[in-house]
């Protein structure tokens, strides 16, 4: 456990004032709670991966997530969150995020889908998402899913305690751009704990060496949304939830819940 006051004093002497607030530094007990919620959340995504295939509907995925979460003693956090009507987000092809499961949406050969699960367990949250390739996908579909995950994994390799928050976004956008893709700016990662979305907002773009200093004990997600074409997006006015790419190009996303330790980022849910 860090000495928060000592660290703040040290950084203030250096003239660096963009620091985590005290409540962003989780106790060992809180981290254990989030770790358990994250473990359950990972098991729910594992269950999805066993059953997802062409021919099932996104509402079938919702059923799988809902049932498995309850079976493991958790609560699906999306359900009724700010009016969200389902237990999971299912975002297909040009849907960037916050897709709403539907009986009428049948997965077909060549689709790519993000399944974003969040579980509440003992009052703590775990949040993660994965991409799934349905049957035989195009080369670009396979590549954008791969590159997005690589961008996220690169952060785990390069971000250390006392790195700066915007280093995360710098790494992600640089890597994705180098592979010919764009990064969505409007939606970011977030702190995780006893609330679904806590501070700080985790940008997926930015200038190296700027932003909040990342102290050990911080728990947050990184969840880049990466587009095949333009980074521009729009909100589906018919449901006020789902975000799509402006140009109809594909979008991929991966998300982990992470804890900053004394040595680097550790995955709590994937």
Residues that bind ligand MF3 (CB under 6 A): 78, 81-82, 84, 89, 98, 116, 118, 127, 223, 255
Query: Measured between alpha carbons, how far is 76 from 116 in angstroms, rounded to an integer?
Result: 11
From Co ion, ligand MF3, none, which one binds at residue 169 (CB under 5 to 8 Å depending on kind)?
none
From ligand MF3, Co ion, none, which one binds at residue 204 (CB under 5 to 8 Å depending on kind)?
none
Closest C-alpha among 161, 193, 188, 160 to residue 172: 188
198 or 255: CB nearest Co ion? 255
Q: Which of residues 204-223 bind Co ion (CB under 5 A)?
A: 221
From Co ion, ligand MF3, none, which one binds at residue 173 (CB under 5 to 8 Å depending on kind)?
none
CB of 223 to ligand MF3, least distance (A): 5
Give the one residue of 30, 111, 127, 173 binding Co ion; rule: CB under 5 A.
127
CB of 118 to Co ion, least distance (A): 5
Query: Measured between alpha carbons, how far is 129 from 42 in angstroms, rounded to an integer?
Result: 9
CB of 129 to ligand MF3, least distance (A): 6
Query: Measured between alpha carbons, how far is 228 from 94 in angstroms, rounded to an integer?
Result: 9
**Both structure tokens of 249:** 């190009």
Alpha helices, H only, 159-223: 165-178
User: Is residue 121 classed as helix, strand or coil in its secondary structure?
Assistant: strand
By CB under 5 A, tell whether 198 contacts Co ion. Answer: no
By CB under 5 A, tell whether 47 contacts Co ion. Answer: no
CA dist list (Å): 100 to 8, 65, 150, 174: 43, 13, 26, 31
By CB under 5 A, tell whether 116 contacts Co ion. Answer: yes
Closest C-alpha among 133, 167, 125, 166 to residue 149: 133
From ligand MF3, Co ion, none, which one binds at residue 81 (CB under 5 to 8 Å depending on kind)?
ligand MF3
CB of 16 to ligand MF3, least distance (A): 28
**Both structure tokens of 8:** 């703040």
The CB-side HSE value for 157 (13 A sphere, CA atoms) comes to 8
Binding site for Co ion (CB under 5 A): 116, 127, 221, 255
């Amino acid at each position: 456990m860090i000495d928060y006051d000592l660290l703040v004093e040290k950084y203030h002497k250096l003239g660096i004032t963009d620091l985590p607030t005290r409540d962003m530094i989780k106790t060992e007990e809180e981290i254990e709670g989030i770790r358990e919620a994250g473990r359950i959340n990972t098991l729910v995504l594992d269950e999805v991966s066993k059953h997802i295939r062409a021919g099932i509907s996104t509402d079938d995925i919702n059923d799988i997530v809902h049932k498995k979460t309850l079976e493991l003693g958790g609560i699906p956090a999306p359900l009724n969150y700010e009016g969200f009507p389902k237990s999971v987000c299912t975002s297909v092809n040009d849907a960037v995020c916050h897709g709403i499961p539907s009986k009428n949406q049948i997965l077909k050969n060549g689709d790519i889908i993000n399944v974003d699960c969040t579980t509440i367990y003992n009052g703590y949250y775990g949040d993660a998402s994965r991409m799934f390739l349905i049957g035989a996908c195009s080369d670009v579909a396979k590549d954008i899913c791969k590159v997005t995950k690589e961008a996220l994994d690169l952060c785990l390799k390069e971000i250390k305690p006392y790195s700066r928050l915007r280093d995360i976004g710098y790494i992600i956008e640089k890597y994705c751009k180098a592979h010919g893709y764009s990064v969505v700016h409007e939606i970011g990662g977030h702190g995780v704990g006893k609330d679904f979305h806590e501070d700080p907002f985790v940008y997926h773009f930015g200038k190296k060496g700027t932003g909040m200093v990342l102290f050990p004990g911080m728990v947050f997600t990184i969840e880049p949304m990466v587009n095949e074409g333009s980074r521009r997006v729009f909100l589906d006015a018919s449901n006020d939830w789902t975000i799509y790419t402006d140009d109809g190009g594909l979008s991929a996303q991966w998300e982990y819940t992470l804890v900053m330790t004394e040595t680097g980022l550790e995955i709590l849910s994937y």
